[in-house]
Structure 1
Amino acid sequence: MNFSAVLFDLDGTLINTLGDIGNGVNAILRKNGFPEHDIPTYKNFIGDGVRELMSRALPDGVVDEDFITQCVAEFETYYQAHYDVETTLYPGIEDMLDHLAAKGVKFSVFSNKPYDLTHQCVKGILGKWTFLEVLGPKEGIPKKPNPYGAKRIIEKLAISPDQFLYLGDSGVDMKTATSVGMYPVGALWGFRTKEELLAAGAKKTVTHPSEVVRLF
């Protein structure tokens, strides 16, 4: 394999955000008088954007769109102030990024976390490394698996899609990679299952970041 770039998902791939996201949503549920969820349950809620995260966490029957919008705004405000309380790099990520950077590999991030929060996390937690493009959904940038963001990164870096390895932890990531011709690799240390990743098109799954280095 001859890759020159990596497009990374963020949550569940580079950083373990489960505790801070779960605690943030639980704070909003508690504020509004709803039952909270155990933190591991949020593995099944994360990955399709913040609105879907909140909709899944709210009790069945809470479907008022304006209320969901209010809860999303409250969560984003809370999370902005608490994004790095428990969040850490996954074991092996620092060494992986160091080794790939030393090889001259180009890095980008495309997350379904809102654009501003994605930038906040990358700058605050991954600031040691250079990411040439960092994207999350906002007006004009639809969330994954829409291929727009990945195509924009391809154009920005002027690198052929077959030169990209895409590392992510969800079926959404694998579908995004496949749709633009990148090589989809599933991170099994993240939030979703091997079965989901393979069903969505992963060409390879890895259990530790060191395995990614060996693909270059």
Structure 2
Amino acid sequence: MRKGCLFDLDGTLVNSLTDLALSTNEVLRNHQLPQHDISKYNHFVGNGIQKLMERALGQEHLDILDECLREFQVVYARRYLDHTQPYEGIMELIETLYDQGIKLSVVTNKPHDMAIQIVEHLFPNRFVSILGQQDAYPIKPNPESVHFALMAMKLSRQDCYFIGDSDVDIETGYRADMKTIGVSWGFRGRLELEEAGADYVVDEAMEIWRIINENWGE
């Protein structure tokens, strides 16, 4: 029986792209570098803030990467909840899962402190654990953070689904030997999720509950 769900954050539970893009563009502007359309950030995000900044800077400007990373953290800390909101249907999904006794955790490559603040602001007291990027473990797709979440939930990998919007998330679930659910509304789209080998791909949030409910006796 599936008793738990581990969710990615950005692109899965919340649409944070505008705040990430505007913060990165502000850093680029401060260095008189070209800025990017918000749509381009769909493929810049997903592997942590260092990769985000590397992709935004381009190979020719990596000499200022460390400086830009420090600036980004200051800028983003001011605006990370300006436009970030749950996707359509997510609030209903989380409340349904919580009410049905499904244990919930977040495993994300967003910096740990910011992940906690966003989740607790938008979904107070609904998640057993919130694990973001920190020195205690490698970022996804390494599954070590998943193992920490499972321990906090007191569940085994067979008890849970890993849910995300990118090939990074599907690989994370695969490496953790978990069933995976890809969400098509995020930053990467259905094709990437299918090619990554997701066990399920959904187009609406409540489809996740239907999958859990239909497989309740597994």
If the TM-score is normalised by the length of the shorter chain, which range does it land in?
over 0.9
Query: Cα offset for 1:195?
Result: 2.2
Match of 2:37 in 1: 38
Deviations 1:70-107 (A, max 9, x none): 11111111111101111111000011011111100001
Rounded to whole Å, the distance in 1 between the matches of 2:144 and 2:24 is: 28
Unaligned stretches of 5+ in structure 2?
213-218
Residue identity in the other structure for 1:92: G
Show CA shifts across 1:42-78 (max 9, x none). Answer: 00101011000001011441122xx211111111111
- Written as runs of structure 1 = structure 2, the 5 A alignment for 1:109-124 is 109-124=106-121
Match for residue 152 of structure 1?
148
- Alpha-carbon offset, residue 126 of structure 1: 2.1
The answer to whether residue 78 in structure 2 is matched with residue 81 in structure 1 is: yes
Q: Helix, strand or coil for the counterpart of 2:146?
A: helix
Taking only the aligned residue pairs, the percentage that are identical comes to: 36
Residue 110 of structure 1: CA displacement? 0.5
Contact 1:9 1:109 (8 Å CA) reproduced = yes
Match of 1:168 among 161, 164, 169: 164
Q: How far apart, CA to CA, are the structure 1 residues paired with 2:39 and 2:202?
A: 21
Counterpart among 122, 130, 136 of residue 132 in structure 2 = 136
Supply the distance in 2 between the matched residues of 1:55 and 1:43 (Cα, whole angstroms).
14
Provide TM-score, normalisation by structure 1. Answer: 0.95
Deviation readout 1:129-181 (Å, 9 max, x if unpaired): 42111111211221000111001112222211111011100101001111112
Unpaired segments ≥5 residues, structure 1: none
Runs of 4+ in 1 over 3 A off after TM superposition: none
Partner of 1:185: helix, strand, or coil?
Answer: strand
Q: 2:208 aligns with which of 202, 212, 215?
A: 212
The answer to whether the Cα contact below 8 Å between 1:7 and 1:110 also exists between their aligned partners in 2 is: yes
Q: Is the 8 A contact 1:34 1:59 kept in 2?
A: no
Instruction: Quote the residue 2:181 is aligned against.
Output: 185
What's the TM-score once normalised by structure 2's chain length? 0.94
Aligned ranges 1:88-107 → 2 under 5 Å: 88-107=85-104
Q: 1:203: Cα distance to partner?
A: 0.6
Q: In the aligned structure 1, how far is the partner of 2:62 from the partner of 2:35?
A: 17
